[in-house]
């Protein structure tokens, strides 16, 4: 079995038994990526190497985790990060505008 090391920059910690949960999810999903492709409507055919949270990042229940290939996991994580940045961004008022 290949050793797994996290390179994650998670802001919420993983539970102490994450390795066990990860192994359970990968086995349950047949070590196949669970992402459904938009272009074909079919499941991705790549080997799953990552386990992803379906909902909240601190919900570690087995049924709230899914197997993904590293490419789809990066895509999902990147899009979530972009949404967070857009939420936090406050547009400053133009200095020439007069407040109402």
Comparing 29 with 97, the larger pLDDT belongs to 29
Which residues make Cβ contacts (< 8 Å) with residue 95, sequence separation at least 6?
none
Distance CA 80, CA 66 (A): 16
Task: Give the 3-state secondary structure of residue 80.
Answer: helix
- Render pLDDT for 5-63 as a digit per residue (tens, 0 to 9): 555 556 679 999 999 999 999 999 999 999 999 899 999 999 999 999 998 999 999 99
Domain assignments of the chain as residue spans, ordered by start:
18-71
Going by pLDDT thresholds of 50, 70 and 90, the confidence category of residue 82 is very low
């Amino acid at each position: 079995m290949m050793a797994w090391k996290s390179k994650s920059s998670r802001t919420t910690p993983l539970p102490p038994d994450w390795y066990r949960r990860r192994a359970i999810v990968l086995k349950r999903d047949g070590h196949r990526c669970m992402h459904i492709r938009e272009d074909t409507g079919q499941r991705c055919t790549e080997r799953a190497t990552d386990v992803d949270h379906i909902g909240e990042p601190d919900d570690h229940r087995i049924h709230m985790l899914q197997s993904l290939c590293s490419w789809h996991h990066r895509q999902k994580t990147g899009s979530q990060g972009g949404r967070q940045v857009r939420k936090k961004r406050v547009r400053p008022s133009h200095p020439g505008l007069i407040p109402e």
